[in-house]
Chain A
């Protein structure tokens, strides 16, 4: 569908970007120490840190991706939400306090706290960079993709805007400004999703009318010359795809009515389950005239849409490999959160273990509330008669547009700025891995405190430039699955080492190095040989893939543990330092 750029959206977005960059300069006006740059002096209030966790964690994939997945496929998007949130249980109950007690600036500090090994720092710095870059690419490409319909600017402008703004945020005041940007973004995201959900409940369920109620199939053709045709005629403002996603029939108790009126939260879900909804499926074929995508309506009962299996088709095929693939994804989401370096470094910004604990609880509350709200946003979009059949990512902004253009402008600007918060966290994690882990601790280049900060800032600028280049290079790739890769690699490389270091005193430095290296390489190799990658990246047949299912976690996470145990048992027992010394030296 064609979109008109909204001056209000550009104005709101510009105000937000200028606001956060201005705030960053204000926060960065004083000279900085390394502790200030990397860990915000450890003085961030636990509540602010908790909301910043939400701002760091809830990427565009969470906001736009999950809403779109629910709007188009029903319940299965919510399975992602459940997995993403469950990962915080590992973070809170297992990781939060020890990582705060053991580390200083980076995740490598914590893993290396007992050994002072350059090997551990090197392996962990590389895994941090690999995970952060896989996470970064979809954020940057997403920023470019979003700016086209939302603000009417070219893709490259979106990528450069995000890259420059984020680099300025990180370089001005490091973790201090990054924290405040994430705090503002997290608050705005949860607040406006709450407003949107309240408006959905207030509107209740409405039987579709207008162009969206026309249920004849639609065909979009892209000719070899690049012209877009809709049902055989050139696409224009007056001849475009019709919006889709309507409610066809209300539950029997509303017989004769076209709207339910305001509904309570659980009432809304129950009424939707008893309704009949029209979703749209797409089918692609190519011939001499171009690539044709046919969008056809599918009438479905609400009860069918509100149970698992709409997106994860493997759940209903009964094939073991399909079930293992799903189980593997849910395991990676569960284990991945507490292994993401850009999340873990947030534990160094608070003053002590109790504050780390409290901020995680605030994070769980904010992120949990957000995921419940996205269920309503997704289902609201499904029946909003406003969806673009070509783009699942546009579901949330178009839902907002079905209420008012101002809300559309606000949600669009928030969707775009969502990218800023997450990317600044990723650049910060990468900057720490390069400057603190590699330059300072692996290459052991002597630096004063001031030089450490400068080195971190140079690394941040370098990473910002790399992010922009990758965002432009990968623009035509479908990169949404890279976030899944990042979770799998983080869980396979980092979690076994972290958990065993905390709970198994026999863990040796060789065990940690081997587990991180094998976990990272095996999960990456598995992904590169999987059916999903064969089909979506190489364009080959799924059947040619070498591994039995696409998601590696189910195999590579246990493999990380196994490698750590075997290598640790084969290498000399570590000499135990006194716990008090250990904590003091990193406190």
Chain B
């Protein structure tokens, strides 16, 4: 058995390898990018956060609220996607 095959074989036994965990990981990385983008602005370009691109609130408030709302939206997307996968039945084998 090649190293690659051996890895694929053992991955089948890793607890977190399922359709829902793959969806979860994709959404997780999307959120990490959003969160990291915000941190880069806070750390290196704080003046940009004072801009008011939408006329009303500044970018610091808009991005911060966006991260809270975004977490909820991604959570809803995840729940719907998992339900769709479960309704199709588990892709065993």
Binding site for B on A (CB under 8 A): 75, 78-79, 81-82, 85-86, 88-90, 92-94, 97-98, 101-102, 113-114, 266-267, 269-270, 273, 303, 306-309, 315-316, 323, 326-327, 330, 334, 353-354, 357-358, 360-361, 364-365, 368, 371-372, 375, 501-506, 576-579, 582
Contact = CB atoms under 8 A, between A and B. Distances in A.
A94 B27 CA distance: 10
Contacts of B56: 266-267, 269-270
A82 B75 contact: no
A92 B20 CA distance: 11
Mostly, the A contact residues are helix
A372 to B, nearest CB: 6
Given A92-B24, A501-B15, A358 B68 contact: no
B12 A579 contact: yes
B61 A306 contact: yes
Interface string B60-93: 1100110111011011101100100010000000
A92 B31 CA distance: 12
A92 B75 contact: yes
B43 interface: yes
A371 B35 CA distance: 16
A364 B39 contact: no
Contacts of A579: 12-13, 15
B9 to A, nearest CB: 9
B65 A578 contact: no
A113 B49 CA distance: 46
B52 to A, nearest CB: 8
A358 B79 contact: yes
Nearest to B54: A266
A315 B47 CA distance: 11
B1 interface: no
A330 B67 CA distance: 14
Mostly, the B contact residues are helix
A122 to B, nearest CB: 22
Interface residues of B, number: 45
B78 A357 contact: yes
A354 B13 contact: no
Closest 9 CB pairs of A and B: A93-B24, A502-B16, A93-B28, A505-B10, A270-B56, A361-B75, A368-B68, A576-B13, A89-B31
A577 B65 CA distance: 45
Nearest to B67: A82
Contacts of A88: 71
Contacts of B38: 82
Given A97-B20, A98-B21, A357-B82, A372 B74 contact: no
A502 B15 contact: yes
B31 A86 contact: yes
Contacts of A365: 72, 75
B42 A79 contact: yes
7 contacts: A75-B60, A92-B78, A98-B21, A308-B49, A326-B42, A353-B20, A361-B78
A442 B24 CA distance: 34
A102 B7 CA distance: 22
A360 B75 contact: yes
Given A82-B38, A86-B31, A578 B64 contact: no
A266 B13 contact: no
Given A94-B25, A502-B14, 11 more contacts: A81-B68, A85-B67, A97-B24, A98-B15, A98-B16, A270-B57, A303-B58, A357-B20, A368-B71, A505-B7, A579-B12
A578 B13 contact: yes
Nearest to B28: A93
A577 B50 CA distance: 55
Contacts of A273: 52, 57-58
